[in-house]
Amino acid sequence: MVGVLGAAVWWQRDTVGAAIVELRQMALIVIVGLLVLGIAERWLRADTLRSLLLDPQAPSFSQALTIHDVGAAASKGVPLGGPLSLALRWSIARDVAISGDRLASALVAYGVATTFATWLLPFCWLLVDVVRRSPTTTDVVALAVCATVLVGSAVFWAVMLSSERAMGWVDSLTAWLWRPLARRSDRAARFDPVSRLTEIRTSLRATARQPAGLVARTVLIQCCGATILYVALRGVGVGDELGLVEFARAYFVVTLLSSFVPVPGGVGVVEAGLTAALVSAGVPTTSALGAVLVYRLLTYVAPIVVGAVLYAGWRLRPAVVVSTASASPARPTAEHSMCRRTAAESRS
């Protein structure tokens, strides 16, 4: 993957160089605004996860940020990093006394809401665009697919969370699949996956009673990412040749399609797709590529760096505590030494 990306950059090195030159002309106020938007996006993501972790020992914002961004760094930076992301988040959550069931329900709810928003936003902007002009066959097919997925996912989760018969079938299937593993491992035999599923389902039901807030948060997060790209485009001099509706349609459709690409974070594909969509909308190639590079720097590279730093801090913090605790008995205090001298004098 690195070789293919390197070859693509080398092949388009002149365009990439021209795009970087345009970025040097970006105003300071635009750079500051982009940094604020990037920080706001990370804050919204971490705060959304924190709002879903409703344990009695609710995590602090820094703990929620560590759980979220360390997992995001693993999923974005490692091919097929989903299992690694889940394992890291579970380990950090365990250290801050968050139950595994609550973390699982929070991650499921967060993922479902994010997926729903990923399909909802292209549907809304395509619909707005179709109202303004005569729809094409592609528009109709895209709207139909988005509507089918949205309705289907809503019905699926409504049935799975409300139907006792459906959940009974899932519990039976889970017990049947777990039985062979329980025969081979004593630890697995002591674990009851059906009761865990029941607790997770109970938590999901509580979240599903008021889904509007969670969906609104995830929609706001994705709109924040779109705003970063739009501000970057304005910062490199793109003007009225790109309308807001046309931009939003291109951005959210490309974002939806990139979610099906089996590469970490859609690296390479998102850049090419967004640049091509913007160029087809009338944006100059170098301006489009420069803005996309800034957008990916804030939404792809920065989360990996932040997640790596937070992971290092999480790994080093227990070592520092242990070393301090182990070293403390070796350094007697002045009061302790005085007491020992007094005792020795009394004995003499």
The tens digit of pLDDT for each residue in 144-199 reads 999 999 999 999 988 888 888 888 888 888 888 888 888 888 787 788 888 888 88
The tens digit of pLDDT for each residue in 242-279 reads 888 889 988 999 999 888 877 777 777 888 889 888 88
Give which of 75, 93, 76, 92 is closest to 84, Cα–Cα.
Answer: 75
Q: How confident is the model at residue 125 (pLDDT cuts 50, 70, 90)?
A: very high
CB atoms within 10 A of CB 281: 16
Task: Please name the helix (run of DSSP H) or strand (run of DSSP E) that holds residue 224, with its range, or none.
Answer: helix 211-235
Give the whole-angstrom CA distance, residue 336 versus residue 343: 11
Instruction: Write down the domain spans for the chain.
Output: 2-324
Task: Please name the helix (run of DSSP H) or strand (run of DSSP E) that holds residue 330, with its range, or none.
Answer: none
User: Please, are residues 1 and 210 in contact by the beta-carbon 8 Å criterion?
Assistant: no
Average pLDDT of the residues in 287-306 = 89
What DSSP line would sit under 279-323, residue for residue? HHTT--HHHHHHHHHHHHIIIIIHHHHHHHHHHHHHHHHHHHHHH
Output the pTM of the full model. Answer: 0.81
